[in-house]
Structure 1
Amino acid sequence: MLGMNDDKKAQAQIEGLATLLVLDDEIKKLSNLREFGFFTTNETHRLIPYHTACLWQRRGYVGQMILAQSGVAEIDAHAPSNQWLVEFIGKIQQTDNAKIIHKVNLAELEGDDNENFFPKAVLWCPFLNKSNELSGGLLFFRETDFTQSEIKMITWLIASYQYTWQILNKHKLKPSWKKVKEHHLRIGVTFFIIAILLFPIRLSVLGTATVVPKDPVLINAPLHGVIKTFAVKPGQYVHANQLLLSFDKTDLIADKEVNQKNFQLTEAKLRTAVNGSFDNKEARFEIPILQAQLNIDKAHVDYTNALLAKADVFSPSAGVVVFDSKEDWIGQPVETGTRILVIADPKNVQLRVMLPIANMIQLEVGAKGDFF
């Protein structure tokens, strides 16, 4: 039984060393910090298991910042978990063993409040620069404690990570003659920009423009009905009180005839009741009722006549008729208040220009433009 356990342990060590060699070879092929961050926080899981891995960097007076996190495409610096993580890294940097790989006990950090953002078991893996100063590192979180064999393997891998980290963060010194050349170039560019600012430059953009009436007269549907005919064409000049369009009057004429007959019938009944009221007491009581009914019937007749008068729409002023097409309106039912057309004054127009958001520029009052 012991022999089988020893064989499994040896097999695990061999697999770990093989993974270590593969990771060491792949890390050397990375070309930028973004690739480095993704690789170190995600691919290290092939060597040791963990819940979350974070890559951080120390940037002078700015302090530390999170560059990458396992399973996360973009880092949100304002997320509560990342803000806590930045503070947590700052506390570890103040400890005596901040420059060595070691396990961190959250309970040992006074005033620390994890708020269950990450598991309790933490492995601190710092990166040092050539001056042996702390420049960044990796943090690994998981539920169970890290074993000594895992820490030993990760130590070998961190050495390879640190070498690549130093190369990717290395700032190449430029020769002095290049610095002098760049200095003169900056001065020349500065004077060139100042010279340009002395001369006004006209900004121009292209956009879709439409001539639209300014303060047009709106012609809305005066009643609920169906448009039967148009007496004008789009773009036609009309005079005041000229017929524009007509609604279908078939239903209105029928309603008028019915209301007129009801009015005449009620009027006849009222006349009969008045004549018979001298001899018939009951007929005398019907007179007020018939008078009220006669008023109602007369109101119906007047209302129908008013609608018939509105069925023909006339132009309130002179101008150009603006609407889409006759075919779009003829035979179509419209509600009261629906805009049908507008009457525009040819001498009172304006230009409406539609620009994409990317081409928006600030214009002053009186700015000139070309319309074509």
Structure 2
Amino acid sequence: MTERLPPAPLLLSLSALRDRALAADSLNALAFSIANDPFPLLQHRQALVFAQREQTLELLCVSGLAKPAEDSPYLVWLRRASRWLAAQVTDGQPRWLAREAVAPDADIAQGWAEWWPAGAWCIPLNDRHGTRLGLVVYLLDSPPTGLAPLMEGVWQTWAHCWAGFSRQPRLLGWRPNKRQVGLALLLGAGLLLVPVRQSALAPAEIVSRQAQNISSPIDGVIQAMQVRPNQPVEQDAPLFSLDETTLRSRAEVLGKELAVADAELMAASQRAFDNPQSKGELTLLNGRVQQRRAELAAVQAQLQRTQVRSPRAGVAVFSDPNDWLGKPVVTGERILQVADPSQPAMRIQLPVANAIALEPGAEVTLFLTAYPLSPLKGQVLETSYQAQASDDGVVAYRLLASIEEAPEHARLGLHGTAKLYGERVVLGYYLLRRPIAALRAWSGL
């Protein structure tokens, strides 16, 4: 019997993958094509493209991400995991690594269970001499049994294109003499002594300097939101209300129990005239009545707190009312903010990796995404003492800066990039500050 040929759509898809690789004009474009274009065929959870740099692997591309954050916990773990992956693929053939079939170190196994699916398909890319150029890892739920033989020509094309980008350019015939080299070194040393102003870039958001958090006064369920996002509110205006069904039922039950306790106390008081033994029950029944009355008063007080009102005039700041409707909340959980829009400020998240020496009064320029041609000027008002992880998982310092003159386009909630200016330093220190800090952290000197 003749061997069954693959279907025509599959052959066209494989041919398209090779064509896109051949059309790449740089190594980064080739890595992007390797990570994202095979998705219709493999349906991978994630693709990782590494470049071989002597004895280490450099991450070039992650599928679905334009530029991953270098200090995220996942990439920190991935640097250790890449060394283990390279040790598993020693020859030039792809290898399927199932989580149940391998025994990595404890930290790698823990990260695999948290971030990766059941298996990883590792494809080494070697040149014609067998030198390792890179490593491609596809994270899959099951091994690509049927596609592995058909994609052999595809990864050979990838390796051929990769080798073309990795070729060293030929040296020009001109070589500088000793005098020219000396002049270049003197000129470079002089440039390193030029004073420049230290600066750093950080994401920022416009907030209010006068903002008050509105939290849930009791445990309950949000029944209705009386305001919309960015809606102006007056003092004592209703903001949101909690469901009163449970509290009203409890109040009704306590009311009945209080009536029963009053009736029992009344009956015992009447019997006490003829029966001296009933006098001992009066103290117990009177205490029970007081207990029921106190419980009813507490429930009624909670009923009065189900309607939350604004303590001041301002603007309601929150995301979407539908996110809160029907949601259970606990006492003290923040629901929204009431902010004063007439006192805007910049809230800056300065990553630890980009931190520079800043003091209150340092100049700040904010370039809003919505208004890039109208930057906002200000000064640093306060800085956090300790760095904390932001919502994006980046450890950063929180800074608050003022906004001069408060223009009309300085609306609450707008985002942008803030440029912070520090003290003046020489150009050499400005360029080598981060390498020096990394070297000292590594060496301990």
Aligning the two structures, in what range does the TM-score lie when normalised by the shorter sequence? 0.3 to 0.5
Rg (Cα) greater in structure = 1
TM-score, normalized by length of structure 2? 0.40
TM-score, normalized by length of structure 1? 0.47
